[in-house]
Amino acid sequence: MIQPSTDELTKRYPSRYALAVVAARRARELNDGAKPLVETTPAEKPVSIALREIAAGRVGVGLPRK
């Protein structure tokens, strides 16, 4: 099962597209050497870490208002 769940993540970003963009950007930062903002294991991949950071509220991007 995917952790965190998509339901939990869409509470922070209602748009799945916006969520994917934020997660991809953060995963690239982690690949480039950024320090994780949550505890990780050596086997965890950057995308998983990025999604857990988003769910924890540690990473975010301001979205334009309508």
**What are the pLDDT digits (tens) for 3-50?**
788 888 888 888 888 899 999 999 999 999 999 999 999 999 999 999
d(CA 26, CA 47) in angstroms, rounded, equals: 8
The residue range of the domain holding 22 is: 6-56
56 in Cβ contact with 38 (< 8 Å): yes
Q: What is the total residue count of the chain?
A: 66
Give me the mean pLDDT over the 49-65 stretch. 82
CATH number at residue 12: 3.90.940.10
CA atoms within 13 A on the CB side of 2: 12
pLDDT band at 62 (very low <50, low <70, confident <90, very high): low
Number of domains into which the chain is organized: 1
2: three-class secondary structure by DSSP: coil
Helix (H) or strand (E) holding 27: helix 16-31
- What's the pLDDT score for residue 41? 92
Task: Look up the pTM and report it.
Answer: 0.84
Residue 64 has pLDDT above 90, yes or no: no
